[in-house]
Amino acid sequence: MSAGPSKPPAEKAGALGPALVRIDKWLWFARFGKTRSVAQKLIERGQVTINGAKVRKSGSPVRIGDQVAVVLGPVKRSVTVRDLGARRGSADEAKLLYDEPQPMEKLTSENAALPLYKPMLVRERGAGRPTKKDRRDLAKEFGDRWGEKG
């Protein structure tokens, strides 16, 4: 019985590690996102480019030497991939994964990215617990516990 035809790998892995890594993993390794799902959100929202092209999928490969630009809130960071990494390490290890030839670029309010998280509701100090009416008003405005508009 012969084995079926297998797809040749896009790039062969070297003795030191793979020749490419998924962009969401690399962003997580390099600490541009606290979790991989945050890195995936950055990609889905169009806030990540590789070599000037907007990244469409989390599984897009990144290689050593690629130029990666990430918009994080009011700041745009442009870096050159120096290493791919094998795991998420300390912040010092993460800085070894890229070179940042240019300082962070401050963006205007219309070019800045929206926050990834919903802002937390804060009540005035001394206001006490919300009343039933307060809770109903909040549910009308922000939705109930399950995120549904009421």
Q: How far, in Å, CA of 43 to CA of 54, rounded?
A: 9
- The pLDDT-based confidence of 10 (bands split at 50, 70, 90) is very low
Q: Are residues 127 and 86 in the same domain?
A: no
Q: Are residues 28 and 85 in the same domain?
A: yes
Residues across the chain: 150
Q: Are residues 38 and 62 in the same domain?
A: yes
Q: Are residues 65 and 133 in the same domain?
A: no
- For residues 1-17, average pLDDT: 49
- DSSP per-residue string spanning 33-44: SSSHHHHHHHHH
| Domain of residue 147, residue span | 118-150
pLDDT tens per residue across span 78-102: 999 999 988 999 999 999 999 988 8
Provide the domain count of the chain. Answer: 2
Q: Are residues 142 and 84 in the same domain?
A: no
More confident residue, 17 or 126: 126
Q: What percent of the chain has pLDDT over 70?
A: 78
Q: How far is CA 2 from the centre of its chain?
A: 43
Q: Are residues 30 and 92 in the same domain?
A: yes
Kindly state whether residue 2 falls inside one of the protein's structural domains.
no
Phi/psi for 47 (5° steps) reads -95, 5
Q: Are residues 28 and 88 in the same domain?
A: yes
Kindly state whether residue 40 falls inside one of the protein's structural domains.
yes
Q: Are residues 80 and 150 in the same domain?
A: no
Q: What pLDDT score does 123 carry?
A: 77
The CATH number of the domain holding residue 62 is 3.10.290.10
Q: Are residues 63 and 83 in the same domain?
A: yes
Kindly state whether residue 8 falls inside one of the protein's structural domains.
no
Q: Are residues 76 and 122 in the same domain?
A: no
- For residues 45-69, average pLDDT: 93
Kindly state whether residue 137 falls inside one of the protein's structural domains.
yes
Q: What pLDDT score does 145 carry?
A: 60
Show the CA angle centred on residue 85, arms to residues 89 and 88, nearest 5°: 25
